[in-house]
Amino acid sequence: MKLDWEEFKLYKQEMPHLKGDNFSKLIYFVRSFYHIKSMTQLFEFLKADETASMMLEKREIDSPVKLELYIEKL
């Protein structure tokens, strides 16, 4: 699977009530659009995309555990 940024843009337009930054919205999008439940799958999916990977690095998220901790704070 590859992250579809055009679908993400549409998702943001259709879901204006979502709060948070683009990364938070991206997490909601990936989990719902691609039906990803596992933190490991979510982390690997984001890590495989260049832009999403930079978002992870910016937040110093380098493991599924750190991603889960980040999501718990949302």
**C-alpha to C-alpha distance for 3 and 35, rounded to whole angstroms:** 13
Is the model's pLDDT at 74 over the cut of 90?
no
- Chain-centroid distance, C-alpha 44: 11
Q: What is the model's pTM?
A: 0.93
C-beta contacts of 8-14 below 8 A and 24+ residues apart: 8/33
Domain count, the chain: 1
Domain that holds residue 42: 5-12+20-72
25: tokens are 């919205």
**C-alpha to C-alpha distance for 20 and 51, rounded to whole angstroms:** 18
Place of tokens 């679908």: 7
Q: What are 17-58's pLDDT values in tens digits?
A: 998 999 999 999 999 999 999 999 999 999 999 999 999 999
